[in-house]
Amino acid sequence: MTNLKIEDDKTRAKRSITWVRLTEALKREGCPICIQLVDSEEKYIRDILYEYVLDVGVRKKLHQKRGLCSRHAKLAIKAERELNSDGLHLATMFETVLEESIRFIDDTISLYREYYSKNTRRRKPPKNIAISNCFICDHINEMEKTFISLFTYYSTDQELHNLYSESESIICYRHLNKLLEDKCDLWVIEKTNEKLKNLITLMKSFIQKHSHEYRSEFSEAELRSWIKTINFFSGEYR
Ligand SMILES: [Zn+2]
Ligand SMILES: [Zn+2]
């Protein structure tokens, strides 16, 4: 009876957009978790530029985190250009953040002036400007947790097994570890290692065929083996 209920829940879950996105990611080359992250990162940045330029919450987060990290700054500028915009969205978003930061730096200068002067009781330096991840990084970290637990949820599913077995996708090293920590079905880890064993055979053959004794042609899979190996370690999002 319990099994039947789980089956029903899963069947229902498979009608959701999250399952559709996962299956689409599984059909592509690369890590299915990373692919979903990159897609949702792009969508999140586009949504911010389209809808949240004047949003107080976004400004607050931008100010708290002192702007964007370098990765997301580049992606935001790229998204702005893709909108065929001269920069008005990001300029509007950053206007008050810059004003607030200028005021903050002015205040910090006053505090440091006092700290450096000889006639001060201040013994400890004033609080510095802390730089941490940006709010888009925070959003992506949350998305990553969701995608990992979603994958774990479906990791016993036959349809997922078939999709992963048949596709060129390989879960990256980082997400393999995260799935293990999440107690994902070991089938997924075994299948990934099987794909890696196939990959090392192809790469060895690719290397070997460079010696003069071999005159056979490279297969398409051999030619791509070293790129797939590098991408296994880097993932599409690291
Ligand atoms: Zn990955
Ligand atoms: Zn970031």
Note the ligand closest to the C-alpha atom of 151. 1
Considering every ligand atom shown, identify the ligand nearest to the alpha carbon of residue 132 and give its number. 2
pLDDT of residue 13: 80
pLDDT tens-digit series, residues 87-115 = 999 999 999 999 999 999 999 898 888 88
The ligand minimizing its distance to the Cα of 171 is 1
Q: What is the pLDDT of residue 214?
A: 67
From the CA of 29, how far away is ligand 2's center (Å)?
A: 25
Are 148 and 25 a contacting pair, CB within 8 Å?
no
* CA 230 – ligand 2 centroid, Å: 23
CA dist., res. 61 & res. 74, Å (int): 18
pLDDT of the chain along its 238 residues, tens only? 455 555 678 788 888 899 999 999 999 999 999 999 999 999 999 999 988 888 888 888 998 888 999 999 999 999 999 999 999 999 999 999 999 999 999 998 988 888 888 776 667 778 776 777 899 999 999 999 999 999 999 999 999 999 999 999 999 999 999 999 999 999 999 999 999 999 999 999 999 988 877 677 899 999 999 999 999 999 998 8
Q: How far is the CA of 181 from the centre of ligand 1 (A)?
A: 14
Cα–Cα distance, 27 to 163 (Å, whole number) = 7
Instruction: State the pTM of this model.
Output: 0.86
From the CA of 45, the nearest ligand is 2
Which residue is it, tokens 């530029």? 49
Task: Using the mean position of ligand 2's atoms as its centre, give its distance from the Cα of residue 190 in Å.
Answer: 33
Burial of 111 (0-12, 13-18, 19+ CB in 10 A): middle
Angle at which helix 88-116 crosses helix 70-82, to 10 degrees, equals 150
167: CB partners within 8 A, 6+ apart: 26, 27, 28, 29
Question: What is the Å distance from ligand 2's center to 63 Cα?
Answer: 13
Q: Which residues surround ligand 2, an ion (CB under 5 A)?
A: 69, 72, 134, 136-137
Q: How far is it, in rounded angstroms, from Cα 125 to Cα 129?
A: 12
**Ligand nearest to C-alpha 232:** 1
pLDDT tens-digit readout, 1-27: 455 555 678 788 888 899 999 999 999
Q: Give the distance (Å) from ligand 2 centre to CA of residue 183.
A: 28
Dihedral angle sign, alpha carbons of residues 154, 158, 162, 165: positive
Q: Cα–Cα distance between 167 and 206 in angstroms, integer?
A: 21
